[in-house]
Amino acid sequence: MSLNAQWMQRDLNVLWHPCTQMKDHETLPLIPIRRGDGVWLEDFDGRRYLDAVSSWWVNVFGHGNPRINQRIRDQLDSLEHVMLAGFSHQPVIELSERLVQITPPGLDRVFYADNGSSGIEVALKMSYHYWLNCGQPAKKRFVTLSNSYHGETVAAMSVGDVALFTDTYKALLLDTIKVPSPDCYLRPEGMGWEEHSRNMFAAMEQTLAEHHHEVAAVIVEPLIQGAGGMRMYHPIYLTLLREACDRYGVHLIHDEIAVGFGRTGSMFACEQAGITPDFLVLSKALTGGYLPMAAVLTTNTVYQAFYDDYATLRAFLHSHTYTGNPLACAAALATLDIFRDDHVIEANQALATRMATATAHLAEHPHVAEVRQTGMALAIEMVKDKASKTAYAWQERRGLKVYQHALSRGALLRPLGSVVYFLPPYVITPEQIDFLAEVASEGIDLATRESVRVAVGANLYPNHRDPG
């Protein structure tokens, strides 16, 4: 038995993996990884896989980055953890100063959590609690976009739009208001992104006009709806949304967990709209993929609504044990140093162009409806019928076939349903991008050429897609 097989069996004896129907692994091999180096992952049998999705969108500077490694080692020698209630430490202070400095003006306070979903919970609770402290308890609902995803804790699921989640956990979820997404994949033929995004804002305007008295905040994934299939829209929607939130007295929450830190072509997606949200939620790439951490940035206006004598009980009594962990802060500081010292945002422009040119031919593929891109995120939408954009039934699992082919060629491409996407580490080379494009093209050919016969239940989650 190979080393891979041994570790796989030991894993399956005890582990329950995320976003996985575990029965799949009766036929789909689980791949145990021994080490990572740059864009590469290596299994126990010595096979290497180019990590095209940055291991769930986090390892922006690759695996085993020596500068991040060293910063964590140095921190380990002085302080590994201390509670952040009543105590503080140098890395968390320096990181907070840096985040305030590099984010849009007006975001002056930083609150830490342990992961993206928890960060969303913090922002939602903080917004609701702000209005309560300001004597407006009726403002307790949240507005979100269709096709959105904000995490899998209970409140985070409530503001998402994953039908399987909202059906399964309906009894647990908040009562939210959903507005049609400005998703430009759905724009009428011949219409540009900006015009479509402007047109779609009418629904948001109407919703806020009718419900602003009971709405605490609007929450959006700016520019790219990630787990919803890398669907994209124009920054004008965010500009209009900021103005409307100000006009109606509603908070704006930007979930930049996936799209922050250079993924959209700017350091933060909100920069492309020239706006500052009331809450900016960051995670994933914050620590370069090394350690779990989330940061919620907000304004002094919000902060002051909680600042009072203890006896008023207006404080934001929310905590996480590992809030502001020194090791995670050290990793984040090293990550920010790389962005600054290596001029990463500028360097990524050439890589983004190479991703576009390497995949341009796929726009003519008979089963590709669209190749779309925002910065260092590129998505290829496979469809049953190109002219009508008729999707494949999710039960056919066409994306899984691309995934399996890519593994056989030494690449980690984990599609979202029938959407093949690249979110590579920023240390990828142009030649490696070309290789990914070649592998993706082969996989799409195989996945769309093959006739698949599966039982398709009528209207059973027609828009369901495998998590990526």
- Of the candidates 341, 363, 385, which is a domain's last residue? 341
Residue 16 lies in a domain: no
pLDDT tens readout for residues 172-186: 999 999 999 999 999
- Of the candidates 341, 361, 382, which is a domain's last residue? 341
The pLDDT, as a whole number, for residue 65 is 98
Domain count, the chain: 2
What are the Cα distances from residue 380, in Å, to 144, 228, 345, 443? Answer: 25, 13, 23, 12
Note whether 283 and 353 are same-domain residues.
no
Residue 196 domain boundaries: 69-341
CB 352 within 8 A of CB 265: yes
The pLDDT, as a whole number, for residue 461 is 81
The pLDDT, as a whole number, for residue 344 is 98
The pLDDT, as a whole number, for residue 460 is 77
- Of the candidates 312, 341, 370, which is a domain's last residue? 341
Note whether 326 and 350 are same-domain residues.
no
Note whether 351 and 335 are same-domain residues.
no
Residue 81 lies in a domain: yes
Question: What global pTM score does this model have?
Answer: 0.97
pLDDT tens readout for residues 5-22: 999 999 999 999 999 999
Residues of the chain under the 50 pLDDT cut: none
What are the Cα distances from residue 297, in Å, to 99, 124, 203, 301, 303? Answer: 8, 12, 28, 12, 10
